Amino acid sequence: MYTAAFDLVRRHVTEGRLPSAVFGVATADGTVALDAFSADAADRYPLFSITKPLVGIAVARAIERGLLTLDTPLATALPGFDGAREDVVRLRHLVSHTSGISEPPLDPAPPLRTVLATAGRDFAPGAASRYSTIAFEGIAALLEQATGMPWDAAVAEWTTELAADGISSDLSDAATIGDAADAGVDMARFTAGRNAGAGLAARADDLLRLGSALLRIGAGETSGILQPATLGMMLRPITGDIPRLEPYVASRGQDWGVTWNLRSRAPGLIDQDVYGHGGWAGTEFWVHPTAGVAWVLLTNRAMREGFDLDALDNAVVAAR
């Protein structure tokens, strides 16, 4: 099974659209297929924005413990953040890309906490949806205030339970992004920033373990890293029918839950019961509860002309 999907990834590497790739598929029972192309299956790759839902799981666990709610104001962790503003940025805005905080480059020179504290406002919280990575520095502040741990330590709590020990904020042995500078990102400066919205690396096996766990939780398992009702909370759409600004415009057919990208109306998909996230350098992690599969693609190129995410997703879901 999954021959068409693996052939598609292999072709992308052979024809030069991707420099390397590790691709795998899991069910609730565990990994069922895994292969590497111009790479080793155990290689670690920078995840970039797949980091977001991994931090989101740490947030959801804090919510389970009563340490946070989705209505907790950012000012709880950063007193004075709202200043003279008439509105309040809350956790639900930060986790759903609706905070309205002005977005800096991926590799700002000042510390991210300083950037967050001095960022402007582009729109009122909840009035629109625009993709935000700086919002996750606010989430990191709230996690630290609530749990007493840095954001990556809060993530490590649940990755340890899954034996997904390749997930960490240490990027020193992760695959190089060869075209990062051409795409406008200084990787040394990015790495030094320890970005809570983009700063983790992992092996494919780590994410496949997570995918299996999420499928089991979605089927009702109560002994996992989250309770089923908590995962359900994370998957409830928050963005609804508010305006969607670039790059995730309404025509892309997705909503945002608690850090998860919900492609529930994506016009090109066979199965729209799907949630997950992609990353800047081509990493992908997607879970299909109805189809009972999760899949991972790790690669390392920011500019990927000719790569079609929907084609790969459909090849997994329709595997024979």
Cα–Cα distance for residue pair 114/283, rounded to 1 Å:
28
CA pseudo-torsion sign 34, 275, 306, 184: negative
119-137 mean pLDDT: 96
Residue 14 has pLDDT above 80, yes or no: yes
161-165 mean pLDDT: 98
Strand partners, 284: 278, 297
Q: Residue 297: which of 58, 56, 17 has the closest Cα?
A: 17
Q: Say what the pLDDT of residue 309 is.
A: 97
Tokens found for residue 291: 């189809």
Q: Say what the pLDDT of residue 84 is.
A: 66
**Exposure string for 82-94, b = 16+ CB within 10 A, e = fewer:** beeeeeebbbbbb
Cα–Cα distance for residue pair 285/276, rounded to 1 Å:
5
Q: Say what the pLDDT of residue 1 is.
A: 87
Tokens found for residue 184: 């406008």
Identify whether the C-beta of residue 81 lies closer than 8 Å to the C-beta of residue 91: no
178-198 mean pLDDT: 97
Answer left, alpha or beta for residue 205, where phi above 0 means left and psi between -120 and 50 means alpha: alpha
Q: Say what the pLDDT of residue 270 is.
A: 98
Q: Residue 176: which of 277, 7, 295, 38 has the closest Cα?
A: 38
- SS3 string, 3-27, reads HHHHHHHHHHHHCCCCCCEEEEEEE
Among 119-123, 255-259, 309-313, whose mean pLDDT is lowest?
119-123
Whole-number mean pLDDT of the chain?
A: 96
> For the segment 257-274, what is each residue's pLDDT rounded down to a tens digit?
999 999 999 999 999 999
- Superfamily assignment of 3-317 in CATH? DD-peptidase/beta-lactamase superfamily (3.40.710.10)
Cα–Cα distance for residue pair 60/155, rounded to 1 Å:
11
